Structure 1
Amino acid sequence: MTFTVVLAEHLDPDQVDVVLDLARRASDVDESYPLSEHVVLHLRHGGESPAAHLLARDADGGALVGYAHLDVTDQVAGASAELVVDPRWRRRGIGRELVEAALVAAGESDPRGRLRLWAHGDHPDAAALAGGLGFARMRLLWQLRRSLFAPVDAPVFAEGVRVRAFRPGEDDAAWLALNAAAFADHPEQGGWTAAELRARMAESWFDPAGFLLAERVADGALLGFHWTKVHGDRPVRPSDGAAHAHEPIGEVYVLGVSPTAHGQGLGRALTLAGLRHLRERGLDQAMLYVDESNAAAMALYLGLGFARWSIDVSYARATTG
């Protein structure tokens, strides 16, 4: 069987459902979802940033057998791509063709031809594909997990600090400012816009009761936050994107502390408060993602009983100039 790869600037809702169904079927085989959250959100809702879609189709029947998402908006680090190949069509060169097509498309906006590839789950086939095309491992993102049956200490907040739930429509601007300050060195997170926040608030999993804000009692200034998330408690359907069959699990989705509040133990206290919230919902496990290079965060989470579950890998291709 042969295939063709075409570039599309936009996908209609039916095409999006087909892509997400392909990703779901691949995740059932690989035991890791092949697309990151921001890619799924871009597929489902669009976004302010443009993206390219590379579609590999069966040349005979037109069925989708592979997909790659290409984002060329990061002028500092270069373009990034994520891809998935139908498990029934693997080892036929589809992944290689998708990456080579992504390199060509990325080169149109960056003369240096930079491209980063994300491989979720650190599978040997992904490593072999990346290495064969001259990519090297550059960044590791760990997924950590812990049992919520294990003891979760009571959080201790500094005097004059209280915790409350996020108020949609009222806290949006203040939270975006706090998020930008907390993640000033991490533009992927700190650069969130109001539209990106609204897209997540529109998701079925969003629950403001699990979006915890720490504020100063004296003036209401936001000092930190712990945004929790629950996976797997909704019916499974292709349009859910990352949804697939598993028991519900809680997530430390985003945890941030204002630079003005460092050194007060606020990160630890907010983590514990969020874990207790997830346990009160009847969940028995919690997960999170953390960059291996973030020593402070790794120490915090490992010290709270989390352990490594899986690894996502970012590959980059050496360039000249």
Structure 2
Amino acid sequence: MSSTEPTSGPGPDAAAPGDRVAPTERLTTAEVTDVLALARAAGDADGADPLDEHVLLRLRDPGAPAVHLTARAADGTLTGYAHLDTTAPAEGVGVELVVHPAHRRRGTGRALARGVLAAASGPLRAWAHGDHPSAAALAVDLGFARARVLFQLRRPLAAALPEPVLPEGVELRAFRPGDDDESWLAVNNAAFAEHPEQGRWTVDDLRVRMAEPWFDPAGFLLAVESATGRLLGFHWTKVHERPGSARIGEVYVLGVDPSAHRGGLGRALTAAGLAHLRDRRGLDRVMLYVDESNTRAVALYERLGFARWSAHVNYQLG
């Protein structure tokens, strides 16, 4: 949720005078353009993008199952948007909600949230990107409980980087699209077996990202066993480039096969990816996301010079 609605004021069913909240299962191309522009405006104002990558990819896929809630002023201006991921309703409907910065504190966020409650059945999982106190207040008012925290950590790349010391018998190479898809997916899903999102990827999830403009196989580093070629771990890097914003690298996904744990491979892969972002992509800063509850990973990244930048909170209902 990205909203600065007050805890008092219009009731939960109210929106700004003249606003209309309407659900649909399909957005037109023009409506998607409006939603993306609204999200950019909110991200610029809040310092955190209100819609995660998964939602943005689904917005561009007209066949993706979802419910879209739009709030519009009387003149047709899009004032707010909520996305409901209905792929696995028994496990929880994923919710992301955003109100345009110029139309906040008028009840639009509450009206959208009320629309979410009316449109969804079963448990709800709503992300608040940036952990804004107003989003927390709105969540509490509606009965949502704080369930999970995702840290964004950052570090400068100008500072000294650790050497990527690989275990004996292990070498690095770049990902080969088409050849490595299935083996990477197997290691990824094993490494993230307990993760609510990353451990459930399919080949389609991988390939839709490989089709994105930012995808660079040279920055998708694989650690393989020299003698057999068996995949042991990986560091998939990403570069964020947006007009008007400084470029920043990301430790997009980093994983080690459970059979290769405790050999220093995770640290070596992290270091190799950071060096790639600095030396080959010319970047001066990098970010990553890690669950607050994953204390082992948080400690590793802090030893590698990362520090907390922001937090994203998942609220659940039911």
Same fold (TM over 0.5): yes
**Moved segments of 4+, more than 6 Å:** none
- Deviation (angstroms), 1:75: 4.7
Q: Could you tell me whether the CA contact under 8 Å between 2:185 and 2:201 is conserved in 1?
A: yes
> Is 1:122–2:121 an aligned residue pair?
no
Select 2:104's aligned residue among 78, 84, 90. Answer: 90
How far apart, in 2, do the equivalents of 1:16 and 1:176 lie? 30
Kindly state the Cα deviation for residue 129 of structure 1 after the two structures are TM-superposed. 1.1
Distance 2:67 2:61 in 1: 15
SS in 1 for 2:146: strand
> Which of 206, 226, 247 is equivalent to 1:217?
226
1:181-200 alignment runs, 5 A limit: 181-200=190-209
Residue pairs, 1:32-111, within 5 angstroms = 32-46=48-62, 50-58=65-73, 60-75=74-89, 77-107=91-121, 110=122
Distance 1:164 1:16 in 2: 38
Work out which of the residue numbers 128, 131, 146 in structure 2 matches 1:137: 146
Please say if 1:294 is aligned against 2:310: no
2:13 match: none
Amino acid across the alignment from 2:96:
E
Kindly indicate whether residue 305 of structure 2 is the aligned counterpart of residue 305 of structure 1.
yes
**CA shift for structure 1 position 13:** 2.0
CA contact (8 A) 1:25 1:86 kept: yes
2:21 — aligned with what? 5
Contact 1:45 1:199 in 2 (8 A): no
Asked if structure 1 preserves the Cα contact closer than 8 Å seen for 2:27 and 2:62, the reply is: no
TM-score using structure 1 length: 0.91
Number of paired residues?
Answer: 301
CA RMSD of aligned residues (A): 1.3
Structure 2 unaligned regions, length at least 5: 1-16
Counterpart of 2:254?
255
Q: Alpha-carbon deviation of 1:291?
A: 0.4
- CA separation in 2, counterparts of 1:298 and 1:292? 7
Structure 1 residue 176 displacement after superposition: 0.9
Hey, what's the Cα distance between the residues in 2 that align with 1:77 and 1:294? 22
Give distance in 1, aligned partners of 2:160 and 2:90: 43
SS at match of 2:193: coil
TM-score by length of 2: 0.91
Quote the offset at 1:77 in angstroms.
3.9
- Residue type at the aligned position of 1:286: V
2:89 & 2:80 partners in 1: Cα distance? 27
Letter of the structure 2 residue corresponding to residue 263 of structure 1: R
- Corresponding letter in the other structure for 2:288: L
Contact 1:71/1:81 (8 A) holds in 2: yes
Q: Which amino acid aligns with 1:71?
A: D
SS in 2 for 1:65: strand
